Amino acid sequence: MNTSFDLESLIRPNIRSLVPYRCARDDYDSGILLDANENSIGAVTGPEGNLNRYPDPHQDELRRAIANVRGCRPEQIFCGVGSDEAIDILIRIFCVPGKDSIIITPPTYGMYKVAAKVNDVNVIEWPLTKDFQIDPSSFPHPASSVPLLFLCSPNNPTANNLKREDIIQILTTFPGIVVVDEAYIDFTDQQSFVKDLDQYPNLVVLQTFSKSYGLAGIRLGLAFASEAIISWFLRVKAPYNINVLTSRVALDALSQTSTLQKNIDLILSERTRVMTSLTHIPAVKHIYPSDANFVLVRVENAFHVYKTMADAGVVIRYRGDQLHCDSTIRITIGTPEENDAMLAMLKEVTS
């Protein structure tokens, strides 16, 4: 039990006193609706169905469906325009610009730092160890106030899980909010923290429809947390942030459990095949273990390899500029044909 955590005291003062916007659909959502300056004549284009109307600002149906699939309560879910929106809102709820800091654990997902900088919030880097784990014994004890700490597991760009016991140690000792970004959780056997929300009042879990569901184009990301934390998200978010088309596709996606599993299984078997094939390429010096839909690989002349491959039409990511990632490339697992093309070209440009 984390005894030093006090949610109310962490909320940025201007947010604490915010009177949220009340939109027309907060009051009535059926009848002859002439209250929101919509266009009753209809949309000039687009698929069937109510696109001339604003979407449900509370996303009730969508949140119920997600709660069913992920094993929590609808009130513990915030739906955002990608997890990137959730990251930005977290910083806006908890951090005073020009004063507060967040902690991140490089090498990690780049948007935590960018979102902090956009909000004029300082970033404290708490590096992962060389094998890309948290080292609780080196925890920084900063002078300025730190309401937020971001962990990413499985981590991007390193692809590994952080150790569950280390995350729990942070959750039980850090006095602020601990964000565990689980964008890649469906590609690993590691248990999600969503089922543990009731145990950790300072926990926020991020997930997304962009990876296992293959729906990066609809822009739907999720934050899971206590009802108290989620209620702050709902006060700060734009009223109609999730559009009608996104909700419709996401609801359908949530019912496609066998296709989801089939696609995950294919990515996982391709991941194994790609990693095995990489071991036969002499320029490949190290293949890091992966719990995600990508692999981090140390290769001779990584930047040259990346650039030559990209110019020839196979685009992977150079990650050699990240901490502990010298001379690495990050390869997303694609279709079997894409993976074959990537492997053939990697072999060719390094031989």
**Of the candidates 221, 242, 299, 331, which one interacts with ligand PMP according to CB under 6 A?**
221
Binding segment for ligand PMP (CB under 6 A), chosen from 9-17, 44-52, 76-84, 116-124, is: 76-84
Is residue 146 within 8 A of residue 102, CB to CB? The reply is: yes
Does residue number 210 form part of the binding site for ligand PMP (CB under 6 A)?
Answer: yes
Instruction: Find the distance separating the first CA and the last CA of the chain, reported in whole Å.
Output: 55
Binding characters for ligand PMP, 107-126, by CB under 6 A (x = yes)? --x-----------------
Task: Please count the residues of this chain forming the interface with ligand PMP, following the rule CB under 6 A.
Answer: 12
Shortest distance (Å) from residue 152 CB to ligand PMP? 5
Q: Which is nearer to ligand PMP, 109 or 224 (CB)?
A: 109
Judged by beta carbon, residue 72 or residue 185, the one nearer ligand PMP is: 185
Q: Residue 216, interface with ligand PMP (CB under 6 A)?
A: yes
* Residue facing ligand PMP at closest CB distance: 82
| Structure tokens given for 209 | 């429809």
Ranges within 138-157 binding ligand PMP (CB under 6 A): 152, 156
Among 55, 57, 74, 82, binds ligand PMP (CB under 6 A): 82
181 part of the interface to ligand PMP, by CB under 6 A: yes
Stretch of 33-41, 78-86, 120-128, 166-174 lying at the interface with ligand PMP (CB under 6 A): 78-86
Rounded to the nearest whole angstrom, what is the least distance from the CB of residue 87 to ligand PMP in the complex? Answer: 7
Q: Which residues bind ligand PMP (CB under 6 A)?
A: 82-84, 109, 152, 156, 181, 183, 208, 210, 216, 221
